[in-house]
Structure 1
Amino acid sequence: MAASELIQDDEDVRIHMDANVTTGDPPPCSVANGNPTRHARSSSLPPPDDDVDGRAAGDKLSSLLKQNQLVRTLSSGLRRRCDYVKISVTEEHADRLPKEWWKTGVAFLYATFNLVFTTVIITVVHERVPDKSVSPPLPDKFFDYVDRVPWAFTVTEVNGLILCGLWLVQWIFLRHRAIIGRRCFFLIGTLYMYRCVTMYITTLPVPGKHMVCAPKLYNDSTGKIWRILRLISGGGLSLTGSHLMCGDFLYSGHTVMLTLSYLFIKEYSPSWMWWYRWICWLLSASGVLCILIGHEHYSIDVVIGYFITTRTFWWYHTMANTHALRQAPNNFLSRTWWNPVFNFLERNVQTTVPVVFSSPVAFPSCGQRYRIVEGGRDE
């Protein structure tokens, strides 16, 4: 009998015993002389039916008692060991963190468009930069106390290249690189779109007499297109000799990349890699400082670049990691213009993205697989 059936029948066990009770004197027994003799019984006669029924009822009672005791023992044993019977099923996060690479592709196109559009705006703004002889550099408190170091801006660009390279390698080995990638592309595109706006509406004079700006082309559209292509091919870096135009001061694009790359490295690296985080922080902080030491940007350019980069990053990740805020009626972060874009990118991401590394390429298993088959022989 199965244990579950025994437990179920535990309460249904009933002991039934039928007993025939007779009152009065038993009928007289006849003897050889014909006179009845009361209460006489020959030893050779079989026992009466009442004794047989009583013995059978006793055996049945004993069997039912043993069965009832067995049921109670099994029931109490199962209750004591109920924790070992429970099976805890871990919730699968695969469906809660969909890759959706097509959304990552859309974010990449958005970032690429804004980066290219930035080069167009730089080319346009360059034509409006006032001449150094007409408009001298604006007074800057940092420049008053720190003299210019010519090689400092080279340190800035080298540090920026190192940080971007480290982040690229780290991103490739992240398991959820699709989700993290579209976050990175969206933030890059948004920050450079803001930069296009600030550069275009306010054109600052050069921050130092040392700066050499390319000659203005005025109505030469073909020359402007070649400048745009040259700026794109060189990554907008002075190291490659592609950036000879002026006017892209407010705010600093180098500060954006140095700060944003560090923020992503820190956010998506495990806590035990504290030494790696500190190295990246030193590269970022020294690179930003060298922008000012090289007098390549005004202090306000660096401050606004740092402020807008960190706030946009923190606002986005606050929304991404706190799911209760997405539908909260009093969430003021949902009033940003990019909230519909955020909902498009993060709609199916239902949990915080864990920091898990995995190989970007699935290598086939070369080892031989064995299958264990349990069999028994007939006895």
Structure 2
Amino acid sequence: MTDEVIVDLISLSPTEGKPNNGAVSSPPPEKIKCLLAMAITVFGTSFASSMIVLNNDRVPINQPPLPDIILDVSPSSPFAFQLAECIVFMLLIAMFSIIALHHHKWIIFRRIFVNLGLLYIFRGICLYVTTLPNPRTDKQCASPASSLSETWMRAFALFSRAGLSVAGQNYCGDLIFSGHTVSIIGLYLYISEYTPPSQRLLRSAAFVMAAFGVFLVLVSREHYTIDIVVAYYLVTRMHWTYHTIANIPALQKHSRSNLLCRNFLHPIVVFFEGNVGGSVPNEFLSPRELQSNLESFLGGGYYYRLVHGGGRPSPCTSTSR
């Protein structure tokens, strides 16, 4: 008789050997995989930056914007896009602070890098295959590149500025789909996913900021409404699909009834999350653990001078009595 995996129909997780409701107490960090995931993000963002620069030369000139039922009735603000980027920065600081204090930060960073890199690869393909006219008639687009070397220099500059308008990004054709919406919603999803349920105030604040940020992207008229809708759909479905496969080991196995095996994310999740063994518990560093990590990162003597001031304690001096 073959071994079978019994799945709880309520939690959709294996019922045998399920500690702490499917959560894994100490999954391996696998830092090398985190570096590989970071490489995916670097490739995805650089690829999208290159497509944006190339698409700038293909944007129809002197063509009116496409009809958009939301943009036709919504107000327009020239500073809304910059405010949306400020919200991105605030959400990024909040998410980084939460993950830096998390026990399983390497796993979370790995998931962020994989999802973000894949989304930007897909975004680079989408914005180049179909070029739409600019939704703002008063936007001054960059002049066409005069040579291939100038194109690559522009792509590198855009990549180094993370595509932010506050850093001087002025390329047209950066439409389907909205990268700012991907960042805003993605940051909120990770803040909500990896904070304990008791932190309702933090989750609510992140939700309000994310909703307001998406609204600012829309009223800035840097994107059509379809850009926002497609970005929301893709970032949420990729986040939920990736985490569902990663949290339920039974879904990582191939079977006729597991249709998620046909998803392009399935082999990627199996590679990066195959050794996790279940959902990651939201456990955070205690003050003593945080102090120990800072001492090991900064060095004992430097940490002592930073906290207490003065010189490094003499090795002959004993603090014990």
Query: CA separation in 2, counterparts of 1:348 and 1:234?
Result: 35
CA displacement 1:127-182 (0-9 Å, x = unmatched): 11110x2x211011011111311121111111011111211121111110111111
Q: Unpaired segments of 5 or more residues in structure 1?
A: 1-89, 371-379
The CA deviation at 1:97 is: 0.4
Query: CA separation in 1, counterparts of 2:198 and 2:261?
Result: 34
Give the counterpart of 2:28 among 92, 95, 98: 98
CA displacement 1:38-97 (0-9 Å, x = unmatched): xxxxxxxxxxxxxxxxxxxxxxxxxxxxxxxxxxxxxxxxxxxxxxxxxxxx99956x50
Name the aligned partner's letter for residue 282 of structure 1.
Answer: V
Query: CA separation in 1, counterparts of 2:107 and 2:133?
Result: 40
> Structure 1 residues 318, 220: CA separation in 2 closer, same or farther (over 3 Å shift)?
same
Name the aligned partner's letter for residue 274 of structure 1.
Answer: R
RMSD: 2.3
Pairing 1:269–2:195 present:
yes
Q: Give the 4+ runs in structure 1 shifted more than 6 A.
A: 364-370
Match of 1:338 in 2: 265
Name the aligned partner's letter for residue 167 of structure 2.
Answer: T
Query: CA separation in 2, counterparts of 1:202 and 1:341?
Result: 28
Give the counterpart of 2:99 among 161, 168, 171: 171
Match of 2:156 in 1: 229
Match of 1:14 in 2: none
Match of 1:183 in 2: 111
Match of 1:162 in 2: 90
Query: CA separation in 2, counterparts of 1:106 and 1:255?
Result: 25
Pairing 1:143–2:71 present:
yes
Q: Percent identity?
A: 34
Name the aligned partner's letter for residue 162 of structure 2.
Answer: G
Query: CA separation in 1, counterparts of 2:278 and 2:295?
Result: 28
Pairing 1:200–2:131 present:
no
Query: CA separation in 2, counterparts of 1:196 and 1:226?
Result: 17
> Structure 1 residues 154, 93: CA separation in 2 closer, same or farther (over 3 Å shift)?
closer
Query: CA separation in 1, counterparts of 2:24 and 2:171?
Result: 49
> Structure 1 residues 93, 237: CA separation in 2 closer, same or farther (over 3 Å shift)?
closer
CA displacement 1:213-252 (0-9 Å, x = unmatched): 01112x51222122122212222111111x1111110000
Query: CA separation in 2, counterparts of 1:353 and 1:227?
Result: 40
CA displacement 1:184-219 (0-9 Å, x = unmatched): 1000001111101111111111011121101112x5
The CA deviation at 1:351 is: 2.4
Match of 2:55 in 1: 125
Match of 1:258 in 2: 184
Please state whether the residue corresponding to 1:145 is helix, strand or coil. coil
Q: Is the 8 A contact 2:24 2:276 kept in 1?
A: no
Q: TM-score, normalised by structure 2?
A: 0.81
The CA deviation at 1:265 is: 0.4
Name the aligned partner's letter for residue 348 of structure 1.
Answer: N
Query: CA separation in 1, counterparts of 2:238 and 2:24?
Result: 27
Name the aligned partner's letter for residue 223 of structure 2.
Answer: H
Please state whether the residue corresponding to 1:153 is helix, strand or coil. helix
Match of 1:308 in 2: 234
Name the aligned partner's letter for residue 161 of structure 2.
Answer: G
The CA deviation at 1:368 is: 8.0
Name the aligned partner's letter for residue 203 of structure 2.
Answer: R
The CA deviation at 1:348 is: 0.7
Larger Rg: 1
The CA deviation at 1:277 is: 0.6
Query: CA separation in 2, counterparts of 1:253 and 1:106?
Result: 22
Query: CA separation in 1, counterparts of 2:320 and 2:108?
Result: 35
Q: TM-score, normalised by structure 1?
A: 0.69
Query: CA separation in 2, counterparts of 1:368 and 1:321?
Result: 47
Q: Is the 8 A contact 2:242 2:265 kept in 1?
A: no
**Residue correspondences, number:** 276
Query: CA separation in 1, counterparts of 2:89 and 2:246?
Result: 28
